[in-house]
Amino acid sequence: MGQTVFIPRELDANEPRVAASPDTVKRLTALGFDVVVEAGAGTASRIPNEEFTKAGAAIGKAGDVSRADVVLKVRRPSEAELKAYRPGTAVIAIMDPYGNDAAVAALAKAGVTAFSMEFMPRITRAQSMDVLSSQANLAGYQAVIDAAAEYDRALPMMMTAAGTVPAAKAFIMGVGVAGLQAIATARRLGAVVTATDVRPAAKEQVASLGAKFLAVEDEEFKAAETAGGYAKEMSKEYQAKQAALTAEHIAKQDIVITTALIPGRLAPKLVSAAMVASMKPGSVIVDLAVERGGNVEGAVPGQVVTTADGVKIVGHLNVPGRVAASASLLYARNLYAFLETLVDKATKTLAVNRDDELVKATMLTNGGKVVHPAFVRAEQEPRVEPPAIPAKTMVADASAKPAAKKPAASRKPKTTGGIA
Ligand code: NAD
């Protein structure tokens, strides 16, 4: 009998995704695992139990987690859920640890080896494990679909015998993974698309997608990209110039989609209430950064707000979850790709190499302790000051955090059998 991988049903009411697909169940089985999927785990992602069974999984109940060697999840297990977990179980999920010290401590206390998928380094080898990219890509797509649904007019130009319908004008602010997909999707729907970013590399990418780039291209702009490819927080002066440039542009747009994020900071405010008010009635703004503080003044997490001037500001939560059937397939593949690297192909068992950079970057807790450098201090010296940024608003970039202290775990020798 092989080791067991368990896939629970997500308990968060706002989480329709699931951490496995029939495809990954087949692959996990081929790796030598027994796979147990909790009944109904895939329902909200349109994967019935039978599909999992056909792929080789057994359908189980929540309590089966207690015999799992590996748990694949979308969200971090709660303290209540952890009660049923066996110490030593590897738990792979989006752990969202920033500002959630108590939850991280609970993972350590439960003795599980927790891996935070959002800390996966963005290196070539780990591209297939990049949950931020796979989910942001779909969020960018869905943002345009949501905008189109709220925008009660046609997006493409239509030249008909009865006259011409003008194309909608869409402006994408922040052109990372989500923004690029938003541009591509809006173009496919026939909108006239412009986009902005503070990173110069974005300019060429925007042009290659057939959209027009608009930005304050001064000296600060030329140095706005960090070595990791992320944006820096811009100076007040730059922000003022950017606002002046975009204000006039936004007034002429039908749809604005904002995706701008800065690792470790609140999302930059890019659209002021005055800019919102300058738009025509019926215009739509989708704020994809709403869970991290929002790019748009007046955006409310989880709500579609209609302003007094008739502009709709869309602040949906968990946007990848709005396209859960697709998001789950990609997320499941991300998890499988990572788990495969943790398995000894000869013994067909878990063999976590603590010296592997992927493991170092993602391992949050192990052996009853918090081991991730960015969180180890939080455990040992409880912070006195409240975190500057609310939990849900942090960008999950562990590399942006200074290493507080070399984790004791990283001094341990490499292991080959199980998780030391
Ligand atoms: P992100 O989610 O951190 O931010 C979204 C976008 O907002 C970024 O393009 C950023 O530059 C932009 N932004 C920040 N402040 C802004 C402001 N004031 N005004 C306008 N725009 C602003 O970014 P992301 O989608 O995670 O991508 C970050 C980078 O990582 C990109 O260069 C992307 O191509 C790269 N990336 C690399 C890999 C890989 O190599 N495996 C994978 C994914 C992404």
Counting beta carbons within 10 angstroms of the beta carbon of residue 294, is it exposed (0 to 12), middle (13 to 18) or buried (19 or more)? Answer: buried
Q: Which residues line ligand 1 (CB under 6 A)?
A: 122, 127, 130, 132-133, 136, 173-179, 196-199, 201-202, 229-231, 234, 259-263, 268, 270, 395
Neighbouring C-beta atoms of residue 207, cutoff 10 Å: 12
* Pocket residue to mutate for ligand 1, from 262, 271, 395, 399, most atoms within 8 A of Cβ: 262
Looking at this protein, which amino acid is placed at residue 233? Answer: E
Could you tell me the pTM of the whole model? 0.90
Q: Burial letters for 52-68: b for 16+ Cβ neighbours within 10 Å, e otherwise?
A: beebbbeebeeebbeeb
**Cα–Cα distance for residue pair 176/166, rounded to 1 Å:** 28
| 8 Å CB contact between 101 and 76 | no
Closest ligand 1 atom number to CA of residue 397: 3
Token pair, residue 405, equals 């202290």
Ligand 1 atom at shortest distance from the alpha carbon of 225: 11
Q: Is the pLDDT of residue 414 over 50?
A: no
pLDDT given at position 15 = 98
| Residue whose CA is at the smallest distance from ligand 1 atom 13 | 260
Q: Which of 128, 177, 206 to mutate to test the pocket of ligand 1 (most atoms within 8 A of CB)?
A: 177
Taking the CA of residue 126 as reference, the ligand 1 atom at the shortest distance is 41
- Sequence length of the chain is 420
Mapping DSSP to helix (H, G, I), strand (E, B) and coil, where does residue 42 land?
coil
CB 151, CB 306: distance < 8 Å: no
Structure tokens at 100: 């959630």
Which of 40, 58, 100 lies closest to 75, judged by CA? 100
Tell me the mean pLDDT in the region 377-384.
Answer: 54
Q: What would the DSSP string read from start to end of 176-235?
A: SHHHHHHHHHHHHTT-EEEEE-SSTHHHHHHHHTT-EE----SHHHHT-B-TTSPBPPPP
pLDDT of residue 391: 38
Quote the percentage of the chain above a pLDDT of 90: 86
Give Cα 274 distance to the centre of its chain: 30
How high is the mean pLDDT of the chain? 91
Taking 60 as the threshold, does the pLDDT of residue 50 lie above it?
yes
Alpha carbon distance 404, 143 (integer Å): 37
pLDDT score, position 413: 35
Closest to 279 (Cα-Cα) out of 314, 247, 239, 245: 247
Tokens matching residue 175: 């052109």
pLDDT at position 386 is 39
* CA 178 to ligand 1 center in whole angstroms: 8
CA nearest 253: which of 197, 196, 320? 196
Residues with catalytic annotation?
122, 127, 130, 133, 230
